[in-house]
Structure 1
């Protein structure tokens, strides 16, 4: 059985990294010349969901992974982190901020808050460093070993704000041997995706290094009809780099230092007024390459970020100690034509003699343009962890974690003075985790974490408010308990019960709109999960499945929109979710493989008195009962952005050519079931049957060292509405258009 290592451990990074990179870069050519049994074996996955290396079958929780060719293909066309959406069972991702501030949802649980200080119940972790802020969560994906998606509460080892789960990335690490690759993609609309890396020993056996970089760009290709500007918006330029140094002067001590940087100059999300038809769906007159913005500014988005981390490890005879110190900083802004349309000859943003209507789509009630920006977000994290050296029966770890961040957010409406608010957050935690093998087949796992979280908020400047200080604080215990039973050498059963929480949150964006700050108190979640993991038929088939149920008390929600387009935090009495998910990988024949992943989720808000402002435009058909103030009562509604189901399918066929060549063709498709955008229920703000497909065909040579391929993403050019704005029109934002091109890759 081939083995894919999803990441390296805190110690032993040097010895494991070479195996990890080889696994991540494995191509089917590597099986040539091996016996039939080896050629037909699927890969064994090794993960670090419990902060140490384990076979995925030995971890008692639902984990989905992507690596290798499948992982690389979905980012060929310059896609950002949102491309993972629906390609992992029960994972959804979207953003109304373009290539920054993604919002993740796992098993239906997420947060639609678009504020730059928003709290999310899904955490992003890169190289064991927490990316708490929404801008940091949009870090470019390149030179990656793979991704693990951990589902359900992860509060024991990873802290607060993980009641839904974690999206966990590991970059490729320096290796002793020379290791390098270069990949260049060119596609329509002058789309470029270029990345590469080189690494190896600087001082053999002592110091290794790896340098990697990424450039993604696309020309503007969308015309602004109202102001008669061609190729005005739609493009982007995203550049990032990373340097890593791995220092191992002795067998006991290791140090891994990393520095990374990003420079983004892009078009922010494009909102399209009246792209949604009455009753739901996309209007017939829609054109991807035309937009009706009347703003003279072209939705600019610019962010600069950098960060550094240092991981130190020392092996004592009885235990190991690991420390991880990290600093992240970013600043930038996004400006958007929020109404997404044209208001006629009296438009606020048009010149004195604007073009005269009629324009399509229909004009909107009033213009709105807003800019939100971060002024020097600083995040510092520090962790120390003690762990047993590892054996077959008893493993333990305990430690402490510290988190501090502060950021200033400025919101400008352009017809009143801008507002600036300050957010500060300090948290610390103590944690412990252990597993014990009662019998050779039965293992129990338990963990406990105590967290204290404190947030401060203050208005620094506003045309409407003075300082308006706010403070929230809470401390909670998180825990999990799990049982894993090896029914046979190929089949394991597991059950898990976990409790997690999301810390209280302060929402201050409404200060810029003459609205008071709002507060959501802590939410707590208890979750039950059970399932099985299997490798069958001489390692040719892997099937994993899980069922789950969770209940959230005091669920944090964001009421967005309404006639005033405000954004307000609320707590619901309860939220309940349950469902089923399964994934399979199969080697059908030598050269023919396939994967399938399916998730079905049912979510329900349970609060008889919770009422939120509905559709501010008056153009949508709200089906919820209304209270005397005209607000929608949302009891019984599904969570927003919680697809009822997702289905993801891939297939790959390859055939040797000559002594060292290989031709291949692959395809991947996803389908997403019924999904509500808001807390209230209206057919206009609900989708069903969104899908996308991709294909790739190419030729590789010399054991996969050199490769050329043709590809297409969103091959049918399907228009999927991914989210909406409800306060002036039936306004939506969409998925990326069809992109096709050629890719050249060389590996050494």
Structure 2
């Protein structure tokens, strides 16, 4: 592995930062407890605008009055989108809130399943096994562990700083809230697209327990259980656990072999205590262990070998075997006798303290530490030939501290909060790769050949922020909302591509140094071979071998202003808001020939304009929410290619100007007791308006083809952004007898066509899939066709006893659909969604 400069500095400074951060969190929590013990004990009502532990224990995604239930109407939905309890119809922003029963009915067990209930959300994965999320067209498709997302993930206001951490969040939930649009003033930078907040089920005073067991196609066994109750006076706890075992659904195209086995376990412990009437404490311990197989890709098309490389017969025969069975979602291929699986684990501990300083003022501290370890082996080429094998390893250490003061003033007309955040991250990201090892390797014409290499990076990220938010009720029907946050971010990065120790890559780069560039040969076996040409390179060391050592400093001011108006009644809301959010600049993880490839992109800025309404209809038998939005998008970060002395190479780039506009509609209808219809749809129109060189889209394109012809990307839509997405769910419940009830439901999810890269359309140009350009003309290969998935369910449940049994099917039409497509070495690979799955679930509760 590469010998990083100042490695000891990293280890010492990271541990010092973590110790300092933990000390800060402990001091803050200790200060709150001391203040609480110093106060006189007095009974207080729940503070409006703050969620107490007692409130949370009783809180539900849907609260329905008895009158609503008798008429089959729709009850109030309670959310904590602005870090306080509010009715959904009082919040002037677009929110999807999905309760526990709906999550279970629709099979939402992973973050990727959220597309079933949030139509403007798309979830995909890179060939490096990193999930990426796009909401209303705002996303960031990158494979680095340290890549900041545009859709942030939280567990009850505790951040999952990076998307891979949220892999096990969907266990024993009360609900999930998905907030759309920039959320920078409340939740911080890197929420330009929105955020997903997982709200776990809370401890109860009474003893409660439950479990369910599912068995489904491909011999997948899933079990979930929880137990909740009091441990002592004023102390209660809830323990949840879940495991998934089995389910190898992929079949090799060339031999009798299976892949896709799940070995995924997760657990959570929540302990809540109330030492005094004005102090509430909540300790949350959660984590997961993933030993599951990594997914194999399908090799679906022929391409010219890279640099005239000779590929193995195994690759060709495997690719041809898959093409003969094209359209079968189970067929793929991977290297034989290789253990392609993850060995990942994650743990998080958080402590929340809420102290009532006065009747309407609360001090809150949230301290969290997270650790993720990754070690996974991936077949990148989708064939039985050894064309690309990638081992991903590394870790994330994340510490965060939030302190805020919130309250209600001016005769309860003003709800306000002020606070600050501190975050300190240490990240090691390593990609060990082998290329065409059963062919003749990766050929650099005239300079040599190599088969193995290591790309690695260390990042030390520190962020400080201060914020203030307020809602002011001008009149009984008119409320103004405002927010402001200042953020300062510092990212120290050291990264390079290194020789694996066999000397081949060092020989190639040494030959380039000596014979092509005329500089001394400094590339050495087992060391960094990336050639230095970044702004920090001294003139006398230009093109010497070494790592990029660079610090990115940036700051920004996020803001939000809005108006909420209830002109007709307390039930109907009209709103308009303007908000600005930022996504931090970042460094790529890529096989870098020169250090300028590793230079960071600038932070991106998104200004959002949104108007909308929320209204019940027909005596609360229906609810309709709608919104229209326009996003002014500056410096969007995207993975592209730049022209260098080595040809066209991958690099993160900024697109100076883009825009997105769209509309969405959500509706719920309960015309009579027992029947519920939920539907939602989103239309998103995205366009690139300026090229990465700053020229206008109508005059000059920004990407270059291998033959020198310019390829226009301006005027094109964003990757992974379907124009139309929608879902519909119908459910009917009825009594079979005085002691038995039944439920039946159907769910449909639709996504329109989208692209997987910056593919341009030009009828005068031929189809092109050349390796040297990620921008291609008229190529349907690099697209995701429209698709619709249908799920069915039927269950029987005891009316008085705590048991239920259900049978279900997902993707019952066995629809063949793609999630991503990319060119990898000597193949084009496609990742496919799971085929038809059906199973049975037994559940029990007390």
- Shorter-chain TM-score bucket reads 0.7 to 0.9
Matched, 1:471 2:551: yes
Aligned to 1:718: 815
Matched, 1:82 2:125: no
8 A contact 1:89–1:583 mirrored in 2: no
TM-aligned CA deviation for residue 400 of structure 1? 0.5
CA deviation string 1:344-372 (max 9, x = no partner): xxx5x3xxxxxxxxxxxxxxxxx111122
For residue 316 of structure 1, give the secondary structure of its aligned residue in structure 2. Answer: strand
TM-aligned CA deviation for residue 288 of structure 1? 3.2
Q: How many residues align?
A: 693
CA deviation string 1:231-253 (max 9, x = no partner): 2x111111001111101021101
TM-aligned CA deviation for residue 332 of structure 1? 1.5
**514 and 161 in structure 1: CA distance in 2 versus 1, 3 angstrom threshold:** closer
Aligned to 1:673: 752
Cα distance in 1, alignment partners of residues 363 and 323 from structure 2: 56
How do 1:331-410 and structure 2 match up within 5 A?
331-342=373-384, 347=385, 349=386, 367-374=387-394, 376-389=395-408, 392-410=412-430
8 A contact 2:597–2:651 mirrored in 1: no
TM-aligned CA deviation for residue 545 of structure 1? 0.1
Matched, 1:450 2:547: no
TM-aligned CA deviation for residue 743 of structure 1? 0.6
8 A contact 1:276–1:731 mirrored in 2: no
Cα distance in 1, alignment partners of residues 105 and 76 from structure 2: 20
Cα distance in 1, alignment partners of residues 707 and 608 from structure 2: 36
Matched, 1:241 2:321: no
TM-aligned CA deviation for residue 413 of structure 1? 1.1
Matched, 1:692 2:789: yes
**403 and 630 in structure 1: CA distance in 2 versus 1, 3 angstrom threshold:** farther
8 A contact 1:513–1:566 mirrored in 2: no
Aligned to 1:739: 837
Aligned to 1:326: 368
How do 1:199-214 and structure 2 match up within 5 A?
199-204=228-233, 206-214=234-242
How do 1:76-155 and structure 2 match up within 5 A?
79-96=109-126, 101-155=130-184
Matched, 1:659 2:738: yes
Matched, 1:305 2:346: yes
Matched, 1:702 2:799: yes
8 A contact 1:276–1:282 mirrored in 2: no
Cα distance in 2, alignment partners of residues 534 and 592 from structure 1: 20
Cα distance in 2, alignment partners of residues 120 and 457 from structure 1: 18
Aligned to 2:639: 558
For residue 339 of structure 1, give the secondary structure of its aligned residue in structure 2. Answer: coil
Cα distance in 2, alignment partners of residues 55 and 134 from structure 1: 28
Cα distance in 2, alignment partners of residues 285 and 155 from structure 1: 44
Q: Which has the higher helix share?
A: 2
**12 and 606 in structure 1: CA distance in 2 versus 1, 3 angstrom threshold:** closer
Matched, 1:643 2:715: no
TM-aligned CA deviation for residue 311 of structure 1? 0.2
Structure 1 or 2, whichever has the larger Rg, is: 2
8 A contact 2:126–2:142 mirrored in 1: no
8 A contact 1:462–1:512 mirrored in 2: no
Aligned to 2:282: 256
Matched, 1:14 2:53: yes
Cα distance in 2, alignment partners of residues 586 and 191 from structure 1: 35
Aligned to 1:360: none
Aligned to 1:355: none
CA deviation string 1:167-202 (max 9, x = no partner): 111111111122222111111111122111111111
Aligned to 1:270: 296
Cα distance in 2, alignment partners of residues 247 and 716 from structure 1: 49
Cα distance in 2, alignment partners of residues 252 and 319 from structure 1: 11
Cα distance in 2, alignment partners of residues 13 and 44 from structure 1: 19
**48 and 276 in structure 1: CA distance in 2 versus 1, 3 angstrom threshold:** farther
Matched, 1:524 2:566: no
Aligned to 1:496: 577
How do 1:35-54 and structure 2 match up within 5 A?
38-54=70-86
For residue 267 of structure 1, give the secondary structure of its aligned residue in structure 2. Answer: coil
Cα distance in 2, alignment partners of residues 190 and 533 from structure 1: 44
Aligned to 1:363: none
**294 and 251 in structure 1: CA distance in 2 versus 1, 3 angstrom threshold:** same
TM-aligned CA deviation for residue 37 of structure 1? 6.0
8 A contact 2:582–2:606 mirrored in 1: yes
For residue 291 of structure 2, give the secondary structure of its aligned residue in structure 1. Answer: strand
Aligned to 2:564: 484
CA deviation string 1:212-244 (max 9, x = no partner): 001012232433344x3422x111111001111
Cα distance in 2, alignment partners of residues 181 and 379 from structure 1: 33
RMSD: 2.9
TM-aligned CA deviation for residue 719 of structure 1? 0.9
TM-aligned CA deviation for residue 39 of structure 1? 4.0
TM-aligned CA deviation for residue 282 of structure 1? 9.4
Cα distance in 2, alignment partners of residues 88 and 449 from structure 1: 28
**37 and 178 in structure 1: CA distance in 2 versus 1, 3 angstrom threshold:** closer
Listed as ranges, the gaps of 5+ residues in structure 1 are 1-7, 350-366, 612-621
Cα distance in 2, alignment partners of residues 138 and 633 from structure 1: 37
For residue 139 of structure 2, give the secondary structure of its aligned residue in structure 1. Answer: coil
For residue 299 of structure 2, give the secondary structure of its aligned residue in structure 1. Answer: coil
Cα distance in 2, alignment partners of residues 504 and 189 from structure 1: 43
CA deviation string 1:48-90 (max 9, x = no partner): 11111111111111111111322112337xx421010152131
For residue 280 of structure 2, give the secondary structure of its aligned residue in structure 1. Answer: strand
Aligned to 2:456: 420
**In terms of mean alpha carbon deviation, does 215-224 or 542-551 score higher?**
215-224
8 A contact 2:330–2:835 mirrored in 1: no
For residue 61 of structure 1, give the secondary structure of its aligned residue in structure 2. Answer: coil
For residue 665 of structure 2, give the secondary structure of its aligned residue in structure 1. Answer: strand
Cα distance in 2, alignment partners of residues 561 and 722 from structure 1: 26
8 A contact 1:381–1:402 mirrored in 2: yes
Matched, 1:633 2:663: no
**In terms of mean alpha carbon deviation, does 408-417 or 638-647 score higher?**
408-417
Aligned to 2:248: 220
For residue 103 of structure 2, give the secondary structure of its aligned residue in structure 1. Answer: helix
Q: Which has the higher strand share?
A: 1
Cα distance in 2, alignment partners of residues 83 and 110 from structure 1: 17
Aligned to 1:619: none
**12 and 434 in structure 1: CA distance in 2 versus 1, 3 angstrom threshold:** closer
TM-aligned CA deviation for residue 12 of structure 1? 4.7
Cα distance in 2, alignment partners of residues 304 and 68 from structure 1: 25
Cα distance in 2, alignment partners of residues 91 and 703 from structure 1: 38
Matched, 1:730 2:828: yes
8 A contact 2:49–2:407 mirrored in 1: no
Cα distance in 2, alignment partners of residues 173 and 449 from structure 1: 30
TM-aligned CA deviation for residue 487 of structure 1? 1.9
Cα distance in 2, alignment partners of residues 583 and 416 from structure 1: 51
For residue 599 of structure 1, give the secondary structure of its aligned residue in structure 2. Answer: strand
Cα distance in 1, alignment partners of residues 598 and 793 from structure 2: 49
